[in-house]
Chain A
Amino acid sequence: MRKTRGEQVFYMINYVLLTLVAISCILPLLNIVALSLSDARAVVSGKVGLWPVDFTWFSYHSLLTGTPILNAFWNSVEITLIGTGLSMAVTIMAAYPLSRRHFYHRRFFTMAMVFTMIFNGGLIPTYLVVQNLGLVNSYGALWLPGLVSTYNMLIMRSYFENLPGEVDEAARIDGCGELGLLFRIVLPLSKPLLATIALFYGVGYWNSFMSVMIYINDTSKYNMTVLVQNMIMSNLNVQDFTDPTMISNLTPEGIRAAAVIVMVIPILAVYPFLQKYFVKGVMLGSIKG
């Protein structure tokens, strides 16, 4: 199909705008990468732009030997992988029944869950609940209170609902039970959605900060966000440095940049693998005609 003149202009503007947006996202990241690979003196003098000055691995070396970042990295991985797995399992188990029209009192159960989106217990009461469950200082405190995001569950429910009834009927006629239906029909048809929601959960767990800080007392269980935040915030603060020897506790900018890179790379690395699900047509090829 030939594009009209108006469309051509429209696409042109789109490309320009989107390219600008993309650049504005990428440039700061490149700057951080350059900072992490530059000599400390060049960093302090502000000579580092998008390309490292006096290239050195020093920041990464200090980061790996001088801080508990490796330990925190594995903690983040553990929190994210197990958390995402648990959350996905439970969210699917909640969304699927609620998506079936014959499910008993499904409106009531849905509303009960939506209710939790509007009201919550507040920080201290939630803490007390977690404490009485004996979860303080364990990752259970990170997984359990936020196991199901109601919002994600609702998206999943309506997605399941909108799968064509014909597929459902066909499966039942061929003798498929509820479990079979879920695992062999519904979930395979929902891969784009599952990928998206798993990514939501994964990013959420990877970035979890407040909950780790509040519930986890043992610093060897801290994840990367808490650790990196501590490093980034260790800027000059008058109160702390009335004692001159405290300066050695400052984390230099280059090392902070390296820590940020180590923190964001895994999530960036996951995106390309999930990309195809975002792009692929939702119902591609499931019903003919």
Chain B
Amino acid sequence: MVISIKAWMKSGLVLGLIGGILAGCSGGSGSEQAEGEGARGNITSTIYDRGAVPSGMGTIEDNMWSKWINENGPANVKYTAVPRWESQSKLNVLFASGSAPDVIFEFGTPIRNTLFNQKQLMPLDELIENSSVEYKALMEKYPQLKKAGIKSDGKLYEVGRMNEVFPLTSFFIREDWLEKLNLEVPTNEAEMLAVAKAFTENDPDGNGADDTYGIGGLQFGDTAGLFRYMYNANWVNVEDGEIVVGPNHMKEMTAFKRALFEAGVVDKDFLTDKDGAKSKQDFLNGKIGMYAAMTADYTGFAAKELDTLMQNVPDAKLNVIALPSTSVGQYTMVWNNPVQMTAVVNARAKNPEAVIQYIDFLTKTETGRTVKNGFEGTHYTLNEQGCPRISDQEKYKQEISWAGDYAMLYSRLEEGKCGYTEMLFSEEIPSQKEGLRLFKEAREVYMNDLPVGEGVTHSEHMPQLPKELQVKLTNVTTAINDIFTRSIISGSKYTVEQAAAEAQQKWEQGGGLEIETWYKEWWSKEKDNVLVWDDFYEIYEQQQADFKKSE
């Protein structure tokens, strides 16, 4: 007995000691919001929690920015934190128990659709018509916002923001390797294979060792998407105005991947590199000649990946190249979604007017600019072009960097030229300067009228299948992906033709026809209401024209 108490105290002591070592300062958190004056409405709202609020700044639901919004906004807002990566289950519980906030911020289209299907959302048409100023004006300027926010019953349920259109992924080639081996930029499958072979076998990095690959991983990570876009290999495509559902172009895509695999131009262990981390490392260490990288955030890409590559391999020179043409045509890289829906309103909101006023406040450019940049003089200064530049990185990190989710209704481009990505690079830093060059190149190469290799439209604008069909689709797509993957690595034992036949059979057995019927019906009803790539291209041209005007 005595011994056991001692032992317990010891283990307790260990816990305590470790805590004691780590202790230095403890996070102080503020208390309740002050009650406002009578005329202001009281509303509640979600805010994503990403566990990124520095100690001493309070919590994500109660901090200098929530206070600022309460002081400067039209309503008293009480925030409920929703963990970013578990938002679905958190929202389910909040709604089921009747304690969901009035305004729900959610990026995930399926999650918002589910709430709509459960009749948890409030239609906003009349409210916006009667009570809104800012959002109404934005919606008049961009009718696409209205189009995207309307649900299948013809009413408007979602509000959102306008984003800049640019390519989400860039297909890079090592320009210095091309020059060294006297090669041309590949424009079709055969040339791509030949260049990849040369990059693998002719020692382009000149170290005398056989340690380079022509291309990044085939199955996982950023480069995997490249093949999908190259071949427009999607489950739902549109051809001549008609919807086509099934393993579209996957046979052709697989045949090419198999050719690459058999030529030995890709890491043989690509299947074990589950998140593409290995191929990314190879690329950043200068061992891969062609690599597609996610560049949704080009400034971030420049600061992190590009900077690392430039440090590791000072001679490396990247270029962005167009997707090579294929046996099923030529396509272009996927673009950003310019009309992004980010918020819905709870059907049980008690004070819808106050909710709309709050939405209006968040839509205002001044609000977004302040939340994103802080206060002039304290956090930023204006540079010669009149755009905010962070003046104190430490202070920015401490007070601003984590507050971005308060600006989910902020349409950055409304600010004028300062909102455009190309103004965000700090050209005095070499990797940023190079990043800006690549960003402009990517835009030049991918923003054109070739069809985008991601089917009908950006995934955020695709409809939600009914639950049982969704399950079937998930099962059948997983099975078919496995079949095609097998045919990449199996040599003569299992050919692509065999795989394609088996895949077709699987598709029919696994409910493919039902899924096809559902999508066809949706398309025949909704095709005029869905925003598609052509709409986005129009927005792009408009945005670029506005930019030129503002210069």
Residues of A within 8 A of B (CB): 41, 44-47, 64-71, 73-74, 77, 81, 123-124, 127-128, 131, 136, 184, 187-188, 191, 194-195, 210, 213-214, 217-220, 222, 226-231, 233-234, 236, 238-251, 262, 265-266, 269-270, 273-274
Contacts and interface: CB of A to CB of B under 8 A. Distances in A.
B84 A124 contact: no
Given A127-B96, A230-B83, A234-B84, 18 more contacts: A46-B278, A46-B282, A67-B54, A68-B54, A68-B55, A68-B59, A70-B26, A71-B27, A71-B55, A127-B97, A131-B97, A184-B1, A188-B1, A244-B421, A248-B401, A249-B402, A269-B11, A269-B15
29 contacts: A44-B304, A45-B284, A45-B285, A47-B285, A64-B22, A66-B397, A67-B54, A68-B27, A71-B29, A81-B15, A123-B89, A127-B97, A195-B7, A217-B81, A229-B85, A230-B50, A231-B50, A231-B52, A236-B294, A239-B107, A243-B412, A244-B296, A244-B300, A247-B299, A247-B300, A248-B397, A266-B14, A269-B11, A274-B7
A10 B472 CA distance: 49
A272 B128 CA distance: 64
B69 interface: no
A128 B99 CA distance: 10
Given A45-B285, A240-B107, A233 B84 contact: yes
A198 to B, nearest CB: 8
Contact of A67 (B52, B84, B163, B277): B52
Contact of A214 (B89, B298, B305): B89
Given A213-B89, A266-B15, A273-B14, A242 B336 contact: yes
B12 interface: yes
A219 B61 contact: yes
A232 to B, nearest CB: 9
Question: Which of A47, A222, A243 counts the most B-chain CB atoms under 10 A from its CB?
Answer: A243
Interface in B1-31: 1, 4, 7, 10-12, 14-15, 18-19, 22-27, 29
Q: Is the interface of B mostly helix, strand, loop or mixed?
A: helix
B93 A124 contact: yes
Contacts of B19: 73-74, 77
A241 B297 CA distance: 6
Contacts of A68: 27, 51, 53-55, 59
A273 B8 CA distance: 8
B54 A233 contact: no
A213 B52 contact: no
B170 interface: no
B489 interface: no
B460 interface: yes
B50 A188 contact: no
B92 interface: yes
A70 B294 CA distance: 33
A70 B23 contact: yes
Contacts of A74: 19, 26
Given A239-B108, A245-B372, A230 B460 contact: no
Given A127-B93, A188-B1, A227-B51, A244 B298 contact: yes
A126 B526 CA distance: 40
A278 B22 CA distance: 30
Contacts of A242: 163, 296, 336-337, 340
B22 A73 contact: yes
B51 A231 contact: yes
A46 B15 CA distance: 33
A228 B52 CA distance: 10
Contacts of B92: 123-124
A45 B93 CA distance: 41
B404 A246 contact: yes
Nearest to B373: A245
B185 interface: no
Contacts of B102: none
B424 interface: yes
B51 A270 contact: no
Contacts of A236: 294, 296
Contacts of A244: 296-300, 421, 424
B93 A274 contact: no
Contacts of A274: 7, 11
B83 A213 contact: yes
A227 B284 CA distance: 30
B168 interface: yes
Interface string B309-353: 001100000000000000000000000110010000000000000
Interface string B230-258: 00000000000000000000000000000
B284 A46 contact: yes
A194 B307 CA distance: 54
A81 B401 contact: no
Nearest to B294: A236
Contacts of A219: 49, 53, 59-61, 81
A239 B48 CA distance: 13
Contacts of B296: 236, 238, 241-242, 244
B449 interface: no
B80 interface: yes
A70 to B, nearest CB: 6
Contacts of B402: 248-249
B86 interface: yes
A208 to B, nearest CB: 14
B132 interface: no
Contacts of B407: 243
A65 to B, nearest CB: 6
A248 to B, nearest CB: 4
B90 interface: yes
A66 B97 CA distance: 34
A195 B7 CA distance: 10
Question: Which of B59, B278, B296, B340 counts the most A-chain CB atoms under 10 A from its CB?
Answer: B296
Contact of A249 (B29, B52, B168): B52
Nearest to B163: A242
A81 B107 CA distance: 37
